[in-house]
Amino acid sequence: MKNVLISTTENLPGHTYEVIGEVFGVTTQSRDVFSNIGAGLKNLVGGEIKGYTKMLQESREKSIERMKQEAIDKGGDAIVMMRFDSASIGQDMQSVVAYGTAVKLND
């Protein structure tokens, strides 16, 4: 995959660009039975639920890759103002979206 510069800021120091438009990358993951059992046990004693943490990390990575691909498909070189949003769907699914503005670098 082509290298796409991603920034959470609006400006890219040393670069000028033209705005292409919004890009998104979405993924929805379900928690497996082992993560649910582990979460139930951790709920009793407290602490990090590593299965859920891993699932969310993988979800963020997948959503970024999908957002990058959409930017490439639209002719973009970079994404500015990148953000994440996430939500639970029911009790066993998590949706993560990465979004931003695809831009074409002038330099």
| CA-to-CA dists, residue 33 to 18, 36, 39, 43, 51, angstroms | 47, 5, 10, 15, 10
Residue 92: what residue type? Answer: D
Residue 50: what residue type? Answer: K
Q: What is the pLDDT of residue 51?
A: 78
Choosing among 3.40.1130.10, 2.60.40.10, 3.90.105.20, 3.30.110.70, the CATH entry for 5-105 is 3.30.110.70
Domain boundaries, given as residue ranges, for the chain: 5-105
Tens-level pLDDT at each residue, the chain (107 residues): 789 999 999 999 999 999 999 999 999 988 665 555 555 555 556 777 787 888 889 999 999 999 999 999 999 999 999 999 998 887 778 899 999 999 999 98
Residue 28, token pair as written in the block:
């929805």
Q: What is the pLDDT of residue 44?
A: 59
Alpha carbon distance 27, 58 (integer Å): 10
Q: What is the pLDDT of residue 35?
A: 52
Q: What is the pLDDT of residue 2?
A: 82
